[in-house]
Chain A
């Protein structure tokens, strides 16, 4: 059995690399975008706020699987314009759009929890809006939203397995292929263990971040 494991492990690990790539780039892009979208959603410029509310509604109201299919198979076949993505780019695009919407909603709650006095305190000191957001508000929002963001981060590890639908070779797909080729469930058990290890690392990192922000109350 150990020999079999060492035979299939390379393909599982290369699938893990794909999973991690999607995980990493989705987070890097959608966390800052989520902040911007949540700020835009509470903008006084109503059209912007309406468009972003609509976007969040669509992203949260339809399955991520459907969004993936739509981006990869649907966008190239639109009546008036054709957007063709590589498989990997399509996956990233769909994931970033979807997770930005979720993060925006989490950040909206975080921004709402900041007392108006913080904005006023900054204003009478002469800080501009963006200085206030950057130096006063966002650092405090981050502390508030870490637990909810953590939930989504762990979801993302597992959601990344949905990319199999557009034919990307991620961890789950690698396990599936080995499992049906060799008629054994062992690869899928290994896949499960690798997902568990990934989420374990995420949980640990989140704990460290949470601890870092506990320096004030």
Chain B
């Protein structure tokens, strides 16, 4: 179980997150919803270790950990960014295998086998040798998911997974997320779309802008 305790974060004196507490059960899907500026993405960035909260604790299975500390090779958090942040100069296959070979020191063949099965599950097998610019938005997103999953994270976070896609693809992402749940991974989804959140989540956290 992932526990967030008293997470507080402010930028230039404006408090964005104030003493926030959440518990996320293993193998569940938590959606974080709320209007723009409410701190959804800030919270996600803190969980992902891209921003450091001013105070508060992250506890995974009873042990405190620091998401911003990347000296640990074991991957706790994976992230699928809003605009995916794929590496444009690498093929789909290279995007997925780069971190496993460089960070986890897997040999190339093992990394490619893992990547092959991930791409297959995400129906990307035929795109393995293409470059990101040759893919549609939905395909890019699935590459981003495969890239994150290749590091075998315990928790996978999504920042606005529906915003860069046209409405018809919204349900497709929802299905991918629900399918992944069956593999035992915990997922956290930031979204401004309450209906989408309701369809996929076990638990919904509503964040509101803090009024002073």
Where the two chains meet, the residues of A that have a C-beta atom closer than 8 Å to any C-beta of B are 115, 117-118, 120-128, 131, 135-136, 139-140, 143, 215-217
Where the two chains meet, the residues of B that have a C-beta atom closer than 8 Å to any C-beta of A are 48-50, 70, 73, 75, 77-79, 81, 83, 85-89, 98-99, 102-104, 131-133, 147-148, 151
Which chain A residue has the least Cβ–Cβ distance from B48?
A124
Interface of A is mostly: helix
With known contacts A117-B81, A126-B99, A131-B102, A216–B133 Cβ distance under 8 A: yes
Which chain A residue has the least Cβ–Cβ distance from B87?
A136
Q: List 18 A-B contacts (CB under 8 A).
A: A115-B85, A120-B50, A121-B86, A124-B48, A124-B77, A124-B78, A125-B98, A125-B151, A126-B70, A126-B73, A126-B103, A127-B99, A131-B102, A131-B103, A215-B131, A216-B89, A216-B131, A217-B131
Contacts A123-B70, A124-B77, A125-B147 aside, 6 further interface pairs with beta carbons under 8 A come to A117-B81, A117-B83, A124-B48, A125-B98, A217-B88, A217-B133
Residues of the A chain whose Cβ atoms lie less than 8 Å from the Cβ of B88? 140, 216-217
Once the chains bind, are B102 and A135 in contact (CB under 8 Å)?
A: yes
Find B81's partner among A120, A131, A135, A216 (CB 8 Å cutoff). Answer: A120
Residues of the A chain whose Cβ atoms lie less than 8 Å from the Cβ of B103? 125-127, 131
Residues of the B chain whose Cβ atoms lie less than 8 Å from the Cβ of A135? 98, 102
A67 to B102, CA, bound (A): 43
Interchain residue pairs A-B with the least CB separation, the first 4? A121-B85, A125-B99, A117-B85, A126-B103
What number of residue pairs across chains A and B have CB atoms under 8 A from each other?
Answer: 61
Once the chains bind, are B102 and A124 in contact (CB under 8 Å)?
A: no
Find A118's partner among B50, B78, B87, B131 (CB 8 Å cutoff). Answer: B87
A68 to B102, CA, bound (A): 44
Once the chains bind, are A123 and B87 in contact (CB under 8 Å)?
A: no
A131 to B48, CA, bound (A): 19
A209 to B145, CA, bound (A): 33
A115 to B49, CA, bound (A): 18
- Smallest Cβ distance from A107 to chain B, in angstroms? 16
Which chain A residue has the least Cβ–Cβ distance from B78?
A124
Once the chains bind, are B133 and A121 in contact (CB under 8 Å)?
A: no
The residue among A125, A135, A216 with the most chain B CB atoms within 10 A of its own CB is A125
Once the chains bind, are A124 and B79 in contact (CB under 8 Å)?
A: yes
A135 to B102, CA, bound (A): 10
Find B89's partner among A120, A122, A123, A140 (CB 8 Å cutoff). Answer: A140
With known contacts A117-B81, A135-B98, A135-B102, A123–B86 Cβ distance under 8 A: no
Which chain A residue has the least Cβ–Cβ distance from B153?
A124
A128 to B98, CA, bound (A): 12
A125 to B49, CA, bound (A): 11
A116 to B11, CA, bound (A): 19
A135 to B132, CA, bound (A): 16
With known contacts A117-B81, A118-B87, A216-B88, A124–B50 Cβ distance under 8 A: yes
Once the chains bind, are B87 and A121 in contact (CB under 8 Å)?
A: yes
- Smallest Cβ distance from B116 to chain A, in angstroms? 19
Once the chains bind, are A126 and B151 in contact (CB under 8 Å)?
A: yes
Residues of the B chain whose Cβ atoms lie less than 8 Å from the Cβ of A127? 98-99, 102-103
Which chain A residue has the least Cβ–Cβ distance from B76?
A126
Once the chains bind, are B131 and A121 in contact (CB under 8 Å)?
A: no
A147 to B15, CA, bound (A): 45
A119 to B133, CA, bound (A): 19
- Smallest Cβ distance from A116 to chain B, in angstroms? 9
